[in-house]
Structure 1
């Protein structure tokens, strides 16, 4: 059985620590400008956040993680998962599924500035997770989930319209990383490399309007960009005093599109550095940034989000053009030509109501322009 990273247990890498407490997390809803910070830090401080997967605690899975895991032969359940499931925190079909940690206020953060989120560490809190296809959602609603019986997917609630594959983690013997695996039949299993990331990171909106956890937007939120692994950064335009950063929806792995509805959902302990980039400085880096923007050692990652995939693509192209034109002072027509030759546009996800497209712009092509 796994060694659990229960609240307060094990390595805590940041200067500050915020666990998942039932009376502080948002279950299905994001912080707003009126939310009370669960933690306040200075710009440049590192924060360790416990993030909790919603898989195994939702109502369509029985809201009893011990029974749900027992059906898969496991008894190693996180204490905060049990506490939240047993709490009186409401989570219905009208709410989002995500358990949201935060908000974290950053002293001095003001609207017009940009919050830089550096992903320093993502420690697995468990060595298992789930991939779920539920309620006729996903890329093929109405076609999936299939209701045919499957001997390797215990279904405690057959009328819920949910099919969940239990996945376990195997460490590679050669030190090359870790693999996720799930059973296909009595003799075979499917496997894939793990690349943990947080699907949900964002800042509060400019007012106190309720913000559902599922659709992403200018605030960030459920953007599900798989490239935001350790060593990457996310830039979020600040929309309220203190920024009020939040995180959740932890993944061990995801393919672009996230076509089943979820990817390998599993709890992570995230250590992040939160830094305020003043408006004047951010303008020199990104131009007039109004949407989330990613960065890895190899790529810049402008994003586009919209109700349709076609429109999300158009938004992403416009944002990539805008970034190149404003950062490097080149004609927009030339930026479009470059993107057509060298920009890789990928589908982030198609399952969150508002769909996402992101672009990978190779930094190596622009080193002489810095």
Structure 2
């Protein structure tokens, strides 16, 4: 795919994405921020995304710190098979320990006011309540109802594109969180921390610009002595899911059977995720966009930044032959090369057991092999990856190679 500086393809099967701007003075004027396409949820009639349904990150379409539940009102209802584009806003740069003022926070790192998303400014300057100590950090966009979806069905979510809306992100480490909490951050927290004095939280947020590298882009960290650490982007949405069957608030941090903050970095453009439907309409939502994340996400966050995500949402009715493993009680995924089963638990050992059990169940149901053979195969030929250890509920996912089962598809 040729690089296009001012145009954005509707389907991006690779991770080298054309970005909308650059922070450095010699290149920043050449780029255009991905501003919202319409003020309200609608179907687009013209432009690059013509024919897609569209959901902007307006105040009416965003929740902060919580996921939709069965009482949530859909911002849009679409038929099965629809392509839906969401504009999302990252929480990084918006939170109380960063001053709840994205224009000031990003401005302090050299970002011009017109390169700060207006939706971010609107959210933080609104009266929207957000308790830094109690609420989740994530800004979530949606939900979208899928016509005809009922409990027992499965929602198939094809990830067509994840496009950064801005040319910068943030990597954060906060007290009490991360794989090495108690050791990092090194600056102690103070009891009187507030949005007026965000430095008193003692948390660490590293602003990370994006630079062009050939036909793609890389994140750039200061390595000291004038040296730069550069790493390629692999954008994906940390939060995707369907509404939980409860009328109680659903915190945005721990992932669960409905999806949510699963943070599996293999579920980027070209991959497909599946979610068991628990409420009428399914109520799909997304947020927490990551420009790139290492397995484990050990410091607390990935390189987080605002993104535009495009999905095809297809309803699979209960019992449909297209449902992987014939049935689902929790999310799973696939890409061209692998089936991906999840294990979620507060205990990492238990998450490993759950991922293994789910992988065995999937193999026996999908391919009709004996469970002991499936267990042996997994031990010999399947990698189990730690998706994240920082979201209360930890995650491990299997990577089951599809090509190993070529004879089962003949």
Task: Name which of 46, 49, 68 aligns with 2:105.
Answer: 68
Partner of 2:165: 125
Partner of 1:165: 206
CA deviations 1:101-141 (Å, max 9, x no partner) are: 00000001111110000011111100100000012310011
CA deviations 1:285-339 (Å, max 9, x no partner) are: 3233111101000000000000110000000000000000111111111000000
Per the normalisation by structure 2, the TM-score is 0.86
CA deviations 1:60-94 (Å, max 9, x no partner) are: 10000011011111122011011111111111121
Q: CA deviation at 1:282?
A: 5.0
How far apart, CA to CA, are the structure 2 residues paired with 1:14 and 1:247? 20
Count of matched residue positions in the alignment of Structure 1 and Structure 2: 362
How far apart, CA to CA, are the structure 2 residues paired with 1:172 and 1:355? 34
RMSD: 1.6
Partner of 2:286: 247
Partner SS state of residue 323, structure 1? helix
Q: Is the 8 A contact 1:47 1:271 kept in 2?
A: yes
Task: Name which of 330, 351, 372 aligns with 1:291.
Answer: 330
Partner of 2:382: 343
What does 1:1-370 correspond to in 2, within 5 Å?
1=28, 2-8=31-37, 11-12=48-49, 15-75=52-112, 76-92=115-131, 93-147=133-187, 157-173=198-214, 175=215, 177-282=216-321, 285-370=324-409
Q: CA deviation at 1:158?
A: 2.0
Q: CA deviation at 1:229?
A: 0.9
> Structure 1: 5+ residue runs without aligned partners?
149-155
Q: Is the 8 A contact 1:201 1:247 kept in 2?
A: yes
Partner of 1:151: none
Q: CA deviation at 1:190?
A: 1.3
> Structure 2: 5+ residue runs without aligned partners?
1-27, 39-46, 189-196
Q: Is the 8 A contact 1:14 1:48 kept in 2?
A: no
- Runs of 4+ aligned residues of structure 1 deviating over 2 Å after TM superposition are 9-14, 282-285
Q: Is the 8 A contact 2:333 2:339 kept in 1?
A: yes
Q: CA deviation at 1:183?
A: 1.2
CA deviations 1:223-251 (Å, max 9, x no partner) are: 00000111000000111100000000000
Q: Is the 8 A contact 2:79 2:147 kept in 1?
A: yes
How far apart, CA to CA, are the structure 1 residues paired with 2:50 and 2:401? 31
Q: Is the 8 A contact 1:30 1:100 kept in 2?
A: yes
How far apart, CA to CA, are the structure 2 residues paired with 1:73 and 1:357? 38
Q: Is the 8 A contact 2:77 2:146 kept in 1?
A: yes
Partner SS state of residue 168, structure 1? strand
How far apart, CA to CA, are the structure 1 residues paired with 2:74 and 2:404? 41
